[in-house]
Amino acid sequence: MKKYRDIILIIIAILLIGTLPLLPFLRLDLTAEKRFSIADQTRRLVQNLPDDIDITFYSGGDIDANFARLNRAAAELIDELNIFANRHITYTFINPSEADNDTERHKNYFALEQRGLRGMSVASRDANGRVTQNIVFPWAEVVTRNDTMAICLLQPDGRRQGEQGINHAIENLEFEITDAIRILSKTTIDKIAFIEGHGEWSEEEVYAASEAFSRYFQIDRGVIGYNADILDDYKAIVVAAPKKPFTEREKYIIDQYIMNGGRVMWLIDGVQMQQNALTQAENSAIIPLDVNLQDQLFRYGVRITSTVVQDMQCAYMPVNIAATGEQPQFEAMPWFYSPLLLTSPNSPITRNLMQVKADFASVLDFTNNTDTLIKKEILLITSNATHISHTPCLIDIQTLMNDAQNENYWFTRYQPVAALLQGRFTSTFPSRSRSIPDSIVGTHPHRDTGIDTRMLVVADGDIIRNDLEQTPQGWSVLPLGYDRITHMTFGNRDFLLNALLYLTDDQDWLSLRNRQFKLRLLNKSTTQTNRRLWQWTNTLIPLIFLLITAPTAYAIRRKRYGKKA
């Protein structure tokens, strides 16, 4: 009987083992931050890859512990993706510093630099306190059958260095890699449009932003005209610092574009001034700017006030400090009219971004619309030492320097300058009012209430403008957000790019940037001081455990089974 029972058990075991591959696999992530889980949209993406993908990481080799952690996290992520991608993703790690001699090593460095993969110097300290400098390339290249895209795994950020910088890079790994895969896998290209015809920034003045946008979109520029369907093909439109009023016809076409789900990035100045006047004199007037959009934005839930922001947290600017009639004398001083705006830590658009540099920004005011259900999220604010001036007003350098010494002058704090609006907006041109402009052609029926959509409203048009610099070879474009005095580049480019991606993102890809991994670090001073103690502890405790448990286990076996044990 026992013989038959054993045979039956063996048969059941064989059947179970044979059916295991047919069962759906089970994976459990027991970490608090779900560190080893990938998002549902990522899973769907890699399950439907049209081509095989090869990823080359250039951060390999014997680097410090931080980069080793980044490499390990990258390998773990690709291994996780491959489970759902049916092994269509391959990856390798390369160390450009591995070479027979310095000539070969520099040749490797130069080849990567030529492809835009810039190296960075990393200082590492050994146990004896000696510091060595290593050149590392925190880059990866994602390669498909038709194209290649480079991604930077470690973005330079003066606020985060060492472990914090690496931790931030690990948090963004899934977004950066899947972002490249999505772009390379696209079969169609979405379009966006810069609206023209109202004195908006020229193509050269928004070149840096356009270059960033062009990685994802085809970019067009043009006037609106009379066709109500002209904006239908565009995923989003950008209104970048108009100086002349919009007509009711143009407003209506934009309004119906929004009602049908269109996305808009509004970059509107609330004031205007002649900044060049400060180079000739010590004062200049600031006056309100009305481009005939206030009623439309008010209907959508926000108002750009005719105010100008001054902030203690600001950029520097050469200012003429000479008295009237004297030869101009320029000196770099805090330029309170160029605030460095704080970014919201709660939005995927602005989380972990540097401050955004603005110029003559205004304050946003939110309206309490009772007929719309609009979610409003503040993205950019001033600091806790702000002064708000209502226009018209006068910039007087001498008075400004005197006021800056008075603590009571900076009594305002945390004023909103940029906000994201989401929901179902109500038309500025309700059909019952019979205010729909004439001379419009198109096929769309009029809508009083729109479908769910998004828009960004920024009370400053300068955050998208890049400076131009004249060189012997001609005019060159400076990076967006670049400060000539401190030579720092602020977060303007990333803010605008993230905002545009969020506006046009129907699958919530940008939410991957919201992942946060808690950094659990050892106390370096304690571990270094008690280094020998912990080494002996970790070595002796396992041995002592074995010395105690082994004889005990042997004695128990002898007692249970007798001498045969």
Digits of tens for pLDDT over the chain (565 positions)? 556 666 777 777 777 676 655 555 556 666 666 666 788 888 888 888 888 899 999 987 666 777 888 889 899 999 989 988 887 899 999 988 888 888 888 898 899 888 888 888 776 666 566 666 778 888 999 998 888 999 988 876 545 556 777 888 888 898 899 999 988 888 888 999 999 999 999 999 999 999 999 999 999 999 998 888 899 999 999 999 999 999 999 999 999 999 999 999 999 999 998 766 565 566 788 999 999 999 999 999 999 999 999 999 999 887 666 666 777 777 788 899 999 999 999 898 998 889 999 999 999 999 875 455 789 999 999 999 999 999 999 888 778 878 888 888 999 999 999 999 999 999 998 876 656 776 777 777 888 888 999 999 999 999 999 998 877 777 889 999 999 888 899 999 999 999 999 999 877 788 787 676 665 555 566 666 677 777 788 888 888 888 888 788 778 777 777 655 4
Q: Are the C-beta atoms of residues 314 and 303 closer than 8 Å to each other? A: no
Structure tokens at 317: 């600017």
> What are the φ/ψ torsions at residue 57 (nearest 5 degrees)?
-100, 130
Structure tokens at 426: 């109500």
**Cα dihedral across residues 312, 415, 239, 346: positive or negative:** positive
Euclidean distance between CA atoms 68 and 71, whole angstroms: 5
* Nearest in space to 503 (alpha carbons), one of 295, 173, 126, 235: 235
CA distances from 444 to 41, 260, 311, 482 (A): 33, 9, 46, 43
Euclidean distance between CA atoms 513 and 495, whole angstroms: 13
389: buried, middle or exposed (CB in 10 Å: 19+, 13-18, 0-12)? middle
Euclidean distance between CA atoms 520 and 69, whole angstroms: 13
Q: Are the C-beta atoms of residues 373 and 408 closer than 8 Å to each other? A: no
Under 8 Å CB-to-CB from 2, ≥6 apart: which residues? none
Euclidean distance between CA atoms 415 and 488, whole angstroms: 24
- If you ran DSSP here, which 8-state letter would residue 484 be given? T
Euclidean distance between CA atoms 330 and 315, whole angstroms: 16
Task: Give the pLDDT confidence of 87-111 residue by residue, as tens digits.
Answer: 789 999 998 888 888 888 889 889 9
Nearest 5°: the CA angle 361, 364, 369 is: 160
Residue whose tokens read 């972990």:
352
Euclidean distance between CA atoms 261 and 93, whole angstroms: 44
The model scores a pTM over 0.85: no
> What are the φ/ψ torsions at residue 374 (nearest 5 degrees)?
-115, 130
Under 8 Å CB-to-CB from 149, ≥6 apart: which residues? 141, 142, 180, 183, 184
Q: Are the C-beta atoms of residues 57 and 158 closer than 8 Å to each other? A: no
Cis peptide before 392 (omega within 30 of 0): yes
Euclidean distance between CA atoms 275 and 272, whole angstroms: 9
The two beta strands, 131-136 and 120-125, are: antiparallel
